[in-house]
Amino acid sequence: MTPEQPPHTLILGMMRLHEDPELQAPERLADWIEARLDQGLDWFDHADIYGGNGHNEHLFGEALRRRPGLAARVKVVTKAGILMAPGDTKHYDSSPVWLAGAIDRALARLGVERLDLFLIHRPDPLMEAEATARVLDDAVRAGKVGALGVSNFLPEQWRRLKAALSHPLTHHQLQLSLTHSAPLLNGHFDALRRDGLSPMAWSPLDGGALFEGVAGQALNRLAVHHGVSPAGLALAWLRCLPGSPVPVIGTLNPARIMTLQDEARLSLPRQDWYALLETARGHEVA
């Protein structure tokens, strides 16, 4: 996964994998993964906190182990650096010891030879950039990680890490949607584009909030006009941005995934794009 070879239209988010009773059996999950691969979706987004203590990575890895050859076909994104053990204060850890262990644990749980993209999940005010960079560079040199990125960082936070790395920092996963458009207007999105980071959008449907109120009404109206679903239109709105941000979608429903994959390719007229932005923000651009 490099800026020159971006992933397909969507990335499949695994945050809620543990909540789907249909996918708890390894064979059933293997069938689901194989079906997504066959429809051209091979990027799967994980984090060590999803499901608690690596649970969802483990579920995914068990499915891969049951189906020889499947692991070689998937592309894995995973994130680490948030700690939220019961009874402990939730905190971040970007220390070399923690990140090195997190990478090894993710590889073991997932049963893959390499993490195609590894992200630091949240910016850590206690991060020693040079020490963190060394452990990340070592992981790339050892073949454990294919590419490096960050999630939820501000420009100066990722620049400090990027300056200390020998290998490129290639991706930034940020919250971005029609109803969370601040990064487009405060310079954040421009900064990641300027610095060569490929954007990945988490919560691209804002947890369903963008289907409510006046924003939802505008989405419904334009969705009918363009012959797509409101969700598909919201993803297409994102994909119209420079760099074509790749939405990380949370649904595990095969039919919905197929619909969104198709509809996210819609190219919106500029006036419609701004009409949606205006409605979501509650006022027109200056």
Catalytic residues: 50
Provide φ and ψ at 78, rounded to 5°: -140, 160
Q: How many of the other CB atoms lie within 10 Å of CB of 228?
A: 22
C-alpha–C-alpha distance, residues 109 and 274, integer Å: 44
Instruction: Quote the radius of gyration of the chain (alpha carbons, Å).
Output: 19
Residue 165 tokens, joined: 């790395």
Q: Residue 263: CB partners within 8 Å, gap ≥ 6? A: 228, 229, 231, 232, 233, 235, 236
CA angle (127 as vertex; 187, 45 as ends), nearest 5: 65
What's at 206, amino acid-wise?
D
8 A C-beta contact, residue 140 and residue 133? no
**Helical spans, DSSP H, in 45-177:** 55-66, 96-110, 129-141, 155-164
- Cα–Cα distance between 283 and 18 in angstroms, integer? 40
| First CA to last CA distance, the chain | 37
Burial of 137 (0-12, 13-18, 19+ CB in 10 A): middle
**CA torsion 139→46→41→181, rounded to 10°?**
-110
> What burial letters (b/e) apply to 260-274, b meaning 16+ CB within 10 Å?
bbebbebebeeebbe
